[in-house]
Structure 1
Amino acid sequence: MVYRELSLFDEPENEEKAKLMKEVEAIDLKPLFERLAKSKFRSSFYLNAKDKEYIRQHGWTKIEQGVGETIARRLAPADIPNDGRQTPMRHGVFPPFIAQHATGCCCRGCLAKWYGIPKGRQLTVKEQILLTRVVMTWLHRQCDNDF
């Protein structure tokens, strides 16, 4: 996966960023996805044909860039005025929003519950990279048989 610049923080040096990306790639996401699958709410999300077409038209690189930017802007700040309402839940807007709900990456309350990331502090660059990877993994799983 290609991770794009996350705009909330000063970017770490290339070497440091590469190290963080390697660390995140080494994390086994299987236990997380197994836990998410046991949640009736989280497992109810899916991509419809319109969502998949959006991904096909924009391409994976552009989608991943959008996911990283969304996480940096809507989840990473320590204080989010509309926390719990910042991620739309309907199809046809931006498919990664559906993925954020499916993976518990939609608000700071869900990040605390699913990832142990407390409210009230900024997300680290490593956490942003991890959440981007989680969302992208879910999206790829949803589209695997389609393209």
Structure 2
Amino acid sequence: MTLPKPEFILNRLNHSSFRSRFTLKEKELSYFQQQGMEKIISHGKDFIAQRLAPAEPKNDGKQTPWKGHPIFIAQHATATCCRGCLEKWYKIPKKQPLTQEEQTYILSVIQAWLTQDLQKHQ
């Protein structure tokens, strides 16, 4: 499976009125500044492995909170919040575990979005 470059998908997502409204708020920005990109991405790797990678994640469609961590905001902004969104936006089929390549790709999209969003706040 060929996944789109993060820049391409971010451009598509920026044209979605729903996805484009997400941005880090003061609480998440402060947490991000305290932790740094490397630690935040490490958290994201764990969240994806636990909440998104299984073939049938627990509470799929509702497993990603709407606030509280920069990764959660980024997941909603990048449509990597549930298996339904992954299927719709990335053509990654439901009902099968995510490969390591897919998990790494999702993290790269999240990191690209975080970088883009942080630039808006400078």
TM-score (norm 2): 0.92
Asked if 1:31 is matched to 2:11, the reply is: no
> Separation in 1 of the partners of 2:42 and 2:61?
23
Structure showing the higher helix proportion among its residues: 2
Structure 1 residues 145 and 103 mapped into 2: Cα distance closer, same or farther (>3 Å)?
A: closer
Tell me the equivalent position of 2:93: 118
> Separation in 2 of the partners of 1:30 and 1:57?
26
Residues 35-93 of structure 1: CA deviation (Å, up to 9, x unaligned): 10111100010111221110010111110100111111100000113000000113xx1
Percent identity for Structure 1 against Structure 2: 45
Tell me the equivalent position of 1:81: 58
> Separation in 1 of the partners of 2:37 and 2:7?
22
**Is the 8 Å Cα contact of residues 7 and 112 (structure 2) preserved in structure 1?**
no
Tell me the equivalent position of 1:100: 75
Cα RMSD, aligned residues only: 1.5
Greater Rg by CA: 1
Tell me the equivalent position of 1:140: 115
Asked if 1:71 is matched to 2:44, the reply is: no
- Consecutive aligned runs of 4 or more in structure 1 exceeding 3 Å deviation: none
> Separation in 1 of the partners of 2:15 and 2:121?
25
Aligned residues: 120
TM-score (norm 1): 0.77
Residues 5-51 of structure 1: CA deviation (Å, up to 9, x unaligned): xxxxxxxxxxxxxxxxxxx8xx6322211110111100010111221
> Separation in 2 of the partners of 1:43 and 1:101?
10
Note the residue ranges of structure 1 that are not aligned, 5 or more in a row. 1-23
Note the residue ranges of structure 2 that are not aligned, 5 or more in a row. none
